[in-house]
């Protein structure tokens, strides 16, 4: 069965209460619950995690090597600064979709560049919590297009 990792970076554990005018009132638990429903619909399994430290995110990705077939990633502020996170994604050699709650291109200049985007199969930003669902659906569609059907 296809297994997808959903990885959230720094401060995303505070969703719902952290700057709700910017990030909305949906919590990370709400997002995880919705993604679990979508996963059941798609016939896949999820591994979800959130870490605040860059090294913790990298360790988690290394641990998923060989276990997940793709990753939905909201790296938070590390999106704009972390070559190490991009290298970890390359090292585990799975496709990933970058997701952001806000439109990073309409924000402060330092948030308008992603260190991860060039390695991602796609990026979704500015669609709030729904962006996670779109990222998951897009990633699964990508995986299914690349994988030939099993012989009957």
Residue pointed to by tokens 């910017």: 22
Is 23 part of the annotated catalytic residue set? yes
Residue environment code for 133-142, b if the CB has 16+ CB neighbours within 10 A, otherwise e: bbbbebbbee
Residue of 78, 100, 105, 142 marked catalytic: 100
CA-wise closest residue to 61 among 152, 124, 70: 70
Cα–Cα distance for residue pair 86/58, rounded to 1 Å: 9
Cα–Cα distance for residue pair 31/61, rounded to 1 Å: 20
Is 100 part of the annotated catalytic residue set? yes
What residues are annotated to the active site? 23, 100
């Amino acid at each position: 069965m296809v297994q997808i990792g959903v990885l959230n970076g720094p401060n995303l554990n505070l969703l719902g209460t952290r700057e709700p005018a910017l990030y909305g009132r949906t919590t990370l638990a709400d997002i995880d619950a919705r993604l679990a429903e979508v996963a059941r619909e798609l016939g896949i399994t999820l591994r979800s995690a959130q870490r605040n430290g860059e090294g913790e995110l990298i360790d988690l990705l290394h641990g998923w090597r060989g276990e997940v077939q793709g990753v939905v990633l909201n790296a938070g502020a590390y999106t704009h600064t972390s070559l190490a996170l991009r290298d970890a994604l390359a090292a585990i050699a799975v496709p990933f979709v970058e997701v952001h709650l806000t439109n990073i291109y309409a924000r402060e200049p330092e948030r308008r560049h992603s260190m991860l985007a060039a390695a991602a199969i796609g990026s979704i930003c500015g669609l709030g919590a729904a962006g996670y669902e779109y990222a998951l659906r897009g990633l699964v569609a990508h995986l299914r297009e690349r994988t030939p059907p099993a012989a009957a």
